[in-house]
Amino acid sequence: MRKVVTIGEILVEIMATEPGDGFNAPIALVGPYPSGAPAIFIDQVARLGHPGGIIGCVGADDFGRLNLDRLRADGVDVSAVRVDAELPTGTAFVRYRSDGGRDFVFNIKHSACGAVRATPQSAALLAEAGHLHVMGSSLFSPALVEATLSALEEIKGRGGTISFDPNIRKEMLGLPGLEAALHAVLERTDLFLPSGQELFLFTSAREEASAVAEILTRARAVVIKRGADGSSYFDRDAAFHAAAFPAKEVDPTGAGDCFAGAFVVGWLNGVAPGEALRRANAAGALAVTRKGPMEGAASAAELDRFLASHG
């Protein structure tokens, strides 16, 4: 099985228990939960029994330990997670608004999660990997951009494959160098996994079919995540749509990462695209039903049970 590696932010998330609007809304908190989009992705990969590891950085503090303990317990190779003695582990605070939107307060820029750099351990992990998953949200620091692009070259140079989820948050837009880095990653991507409108950040086309066709002149496959409307798969010969499973949405953060983890595992293991979409939709549906971004990552047995009970 080709080992999957990802790179980027590992952080803790603290959440408001109830939706609220504005600075003066009353607030109660829950957490911290292990989080960070690449960390959630790779936790889902490992929970499905596929080998996976992450290149990242945490502080030498309790938040760092919380993440390392969880990832390790779920089977993720954390040998390339650097523990920084000076910087604190990154944190994010999330509150849902009454209109269903969400606001984040990130403390990642001056935290350990941006201080990722190449180490002998990251080189060793990359040397045994056959696939790299890149998330646009990880491209927020020059150090991470450099480490990501060099990991990408290393994997591609050895005939490995790349998946890319732009995962762009409004808080990131306008960061210097972000756009160039996103495009540099897409150039080398085999499997592209945007959510909804993210597709249009990468093409001159203004409607979906042409935008997908433009991406498919370079990438092998495009998978569009559509929230409660399910997901679609496109390659140069085929297109499939899979409806979402009914789910009581408690916390959508992490659904796209769990979806991508499950889809990539199917794709790498030769599962037919329609079936891989269905499994990924199931992973996304299970993710939204649980509070906490990584809490909804399902095991292979849970996913099988869910799929069996949904025909």
**Can you give the binding site for ligand ADP, defined by CB under 6 A?**
195, 225-228, 230-231, 244-245, 247, 249, 252, 255-256, 259, 281, 284-285, 288
Quote the CA–CA distance of 168 and 99 in Å, as a whole number: 20
Query: Smallest distance, Å, CB 99 to ligand ADP?
Result: 15
**Ordered DSSP codes for 11-25:** EEEEEESS---STTS
User: Please, are residues 155 and 164 in contact by the beta-carbon 8 Å criterion?
Assistant: no
Q: Is 175 exposed, middle or buried (0-12, 13-18, 19+ CB in 10 A)?
A: middle
Closer CB to ligand ADP, 2 or 169, in the complex: 169
Least spacing, CB of residue 169 vs ligand ADP, in Å:
10
Which CB, 123 or 228, lies closer to ligand ADP? 228
The secondary structure of the chain in percent helix, strand, coil, rounded to multiples of 5, reads 40, 25, 35
Smallest separation, CB 77 to ligand ADP (Å): 24
C-beta of 76 vs 287, nearer to ligand ADP: 287
Other Cβ atoms closer than 10 A to 57: 27
Task: Choose between 2 and 102: whose C-beta lies nearer to ligand ADP.
Answer: 102
Q: Minimal CA–CA distance to 254: which of 301, 212, 178, 195?
A: 195
Task: Tell me the closest approach of the beta carbon of residue 110 to ligand ADP, in angstroms.
Answer: 26
The torsion of the CA quartet 202, 205, 208, 210, rounded to 10 degrees, works out to -110
Q: Are the C-beta atoms of residues 293 and 39 closer than 8 Å to each other?
A: no
User: Can you give the three-state secondary structure of 91-102, one letter per residue?
Assistant: EEEEEECCCCCE
Least distance to ligand ADP, CB of residue 192, Å: 13
Nearer to ligand ADP, 115 or 186 (CB): 186
Closest distance of CB 115 from ligand ADP, Å? 25
Residues pairing with 146 in the sheet: none
| C-beta of 6 vs 231, nearer to ligand ADP | 231
Task: Indicate the residue among 132 and 255 with the shorter CB distance to ligand ADP.
Answer: 255
- Amino acid identity of residue 230, one-letter, is G
Residue indicated by tokens 């109830």: 18
What is the spatial distance between Cα 18 and Cα 257, in angstroms, rounded to a whole number?
A: 23
What is the rounded CA–CA span in Å between residue 162 and residue 141?
20
For the bound state, the minimum distance from the C-beta of residue 218 to ligand ADP, rounded and expressed in Å, comes to: 21
The residue among 53 and 284 lying less far from ligand ADP, judged by its C-beta, is 284
Give CA–CA dist 293/138, Å, rounded. 16
Q: Side-chain half-sphere of 252: how many Cα atoms within 13 Å?
A: 16
Q: Least CB distance from residue 223 to ligand ADP, whole Å?
A: 9
Residue 139: closest CA among 114, 161, 118, 160: 114
Q: Which is nearer to ligand ADP, 33 or 80 (CB)?
A: 33
Instruction: State the minimum distance, in angstroms, from the CB of residue 243 to ligand ADP.
Output: 9
